[in-house]
Structure 1
């Protein structure tokens, strides 16, 4: 293969030199290399840089035809930082913007050369995935977020649409990234803060979105794209429809999403416990066992590294489950039954003294509502359940939730239900934003410019992109 590549390059150089001064519509005569099958050209040209491949297409017609082959540009895309599956999903389902299409594009219909060139021209954006617990931020061209901050410590509840609070929040993130707001577009995740579909809830959601756009444009950000946090987590799992179970810092939200739109008219269920309660319950169990620790950071570290969810809680009680972990600066800690008792309060809240709906009950209720309003041609869209949030990374949680749903729901609903763990751990929403930021049509399809927003009725663009309204 290496010898063949060198021969191709030698021929290309020779033919390119002989073409100097010729009319651009004239081509050199066929050489033995030109007569090779197109499949061979594709396998050879994949070793070139895309820019070199584009120059090579000027040599002769046979090379131009080979370098227009979709397979070659698919190979070039596969060499990019993003995974091929993510690129394919984004360019198939998201490239036309919102509202999303209900059907998949045929793979052969996608112009991969054009997609590659357009993606190369997208300069990327700043991604800010904020919530009431933690904020992940970074440059969309990077492999992962560049920073993380505890928003609950620094800013309080950023879901409150207070311009001054939002301004402080965004200014701090830009300062830590050491970038100017005016330099690039920003993709922001918006939290689930008003779950019902009443007129007051709709007004509150619109107020929050408008506050985000207004504050960022006042900071001279050139363009803004704000997408619901649960929707971004769903995109990261390479889905456009399904139910997202987001175990947040303070509460757990069960969010039905159809074609990228949060179905508030179906109903968003909220459970009164989240990561903070799980960590608090583990600390109570450790106190009961006489395990001493210096801070809640220690407890959270142990939860993230030792805890799991039992498939069968009663059976797990009889097993040997002791394990240890070395917390930096504090030494080794050993846990036993506390490892699976912590996550069990999601399914048996009374164990932790809570009077709230169990996780599987909330998801089952949401699925029953979705089943009643099932929409053609997306029948069964709600049977895909995607976990999101840091505490959803507990090993065994997806399998346990799927088991409980199969047991609780009638067969007509439970058949085909599949629960997926978070695709990128606690950073799933950030990676969903990364998909959008790097998509070939991002500049024209996904963000709103300052000029568009200021133009009356500019803010309506924001709400249309957020999908307010019914798809039924």
Structure 2
């Protein structure tokens, strides 16, 4: 204890000389070197709080035995909020997670603002968490990395047919996950894993439910057979919603092959309302831009070039007819090739989301599908809150096209019934193409992650055995 006191006094004294505290505080701290332990109670609380902030969280917690004042301050949420805010993680994101997601799934029906969270306790729990491996895989591309890292550490093409239950899913997933662990150079048995479940088997039919269950159980089986200690598997759309710090809303996920409009209430996909699906995704947008470039005699080496131009030059027009009258020419230097110039192709590409027939597709436009989903949500009356579906969160790489949120919001206000249109808000992908990965990162750092969100191999085997016996 004497060593901690000296450590505290040394830090505070050195800081006062560098003007971190004002002159009055500095004199109080200098005088404290001749005080007894009980004398710290006579120091004003605001100065004591500043003193405790000079320590690291572990030492600050131990200082609660020094005197009554410090014991009270150590349990004060303001001190631990300060420690949290000095970390890389956003305080708003952390607060959202600990308020709404601590209970695990299913989420609490409501959050009681009067419930006082102990951030000292939360800090201790989060400090004990080991890093998790996050794998956000889809039918096109996969992002993977460590939960403690700021961004995914790697990306790879997957092209897994998650919707095809007749394919040898176990062997393909086993090879897929083994490749990721090999690239990360980590033993599967050392860390828990958070895996995103692709959006597939959309219907609420018995066969679709069976297919979703089979996919999830296969994911668990593969990872537990690889000796992963604990696994958390969550729907991709739900993770993207969490990344936007929401637990309810409609997620518009522009995937590799299709676009899914997913209603989610308190973290659960509302299948009885219905998931709308549009038969176009990132691949169709890229292919349409390729056609436009070929029509205008713009030569390129590969589809990678076209995708790069789509990601860096294309946008969605606020008003398509007005945009046709503007000079929209812009250039981009593709690494390894040369500089490309695009004009009207820049906004015509994304226009097929709202006018599919331009791309030769007979399907609903994006705003029509979202409006239909909203109508179904309102008619279903699944909750007394009639505004939960008015927040629309975009997800997926192609959802990052500039102008898309504003255009979709504008079209929805013009299309839906006035009783619904008020309060509609479209949120762009909060972390770009990596939103689902960041949603998984948010979950993996919750103080109750291992207990509330994960399932262990033993629990999975017991549950599987119980389900097998119940089916007879």
Q: Give TM-score, length-normalised by structure 1.
A: 0.90
The answer to whether residue 77 in structure 2 is matched with residue 73 in structure 1 is no
Is 1:262 the equivalent of 2:266? no
| Aligned match for 1:452, one of 455, 459, 463 | 459
**How far apart are residue 269 of structure 1 and its match?**
0.5
Any residues of structure 2 matched to 1:285-324 within 5 Å, and which? 285-324=292-331
What's the offset of the Cα at 1:87?
Answer: 0.2
Q: Deviations over 1:412-451 (max 9, x none)?
A: 1111110000000000000000011000000110000001
State the match for 2:38 in structure 1.
29
User: Superposed, which structure 2 residues align to 1:48-447 within 5 Å?
Assistant: 48-106=55-113, 109-152=116-159, 156-160=160-164, 162-447=169-454
* Separation in structure 1 between the aligned mates of residue 368 and residue 170 of structure 2, nearest angstrom: 37
Is the contact made by 1:12 and 1:56 (CA closer than 8 Å) also made in structure 2? no
Distance 1:8 1:114 in 2: 30
1:169-218 C-alpha deviation (Å, 9 max, x unpaired): 11111011111111110000001110010011101100000000011111
1:383–1:418 CA contact under 8 A, matched in 2: yes
Q: Secondary structure at the match of 1:189?
A: strand
Asked if 2 retains the 8 angstrom alpha-carbon contact of 1:135 and 1:150, the reply is yes
CA displacement 1:147-175 (0-9 Å, x = unmatched)? 000112xxx42444510111011111101
Considering only aligned residues, what root-mean-square deviation do their CA atoms show, in Å? Answer: 1.9
Residue 270 of structure 1 and its aligned partner are, at CA, apart by 0.5
Please state whether the residue corresponding to 1:99 is helix, strand or coil: coil
CA contact (8 A) 1:126 1:138 kept: yes
Residues 453 and 459 in structure 1, CA contact (< 8 A), matched pair in contact too: no
Q: Which runs of 5+ in 1 are unaligned?
A: 19-27, 461-472
Indicate if the aligned counterparts of 1:190 and 1:229 stay in contact, CA closer than 8 A. yes
Residue in structure 1 matched with residue 46 of structure 2 by the alignment = 39
Does the CA contact (< 8 Å) of 1:210 and 1:459 recur in 2?
Answer: no
Q: Secondary structure at the match of 1:57?
A: helix
Per the TM alignment, residue 295 of structure 1 is displaced from its structure 2 partner at its CA by: 0.4
Q: How many residues align?
A: 445
String of CA shifts for 1:279-321, please: whole Å, max 9, x gaps: 0000100011110000010000000000000010001111111
Distance 1:8 1:125, change over 3 A: farther
Provide closer, same or farther for how the CA distance between residues 369 and 12 of structure 1 changes in structure 2, counting only shifts above 3 A: farther
Which residue of the partner structure matches residue 9 of structure 2? none
Deviation for aligned residue 1:40: 3.3
C-alpha distance in 2, partners of 1:459/1:239?
34
CA 1:221–1:14 in structure 2 vs 1: closer, same or farther (change >3 Å)? farther
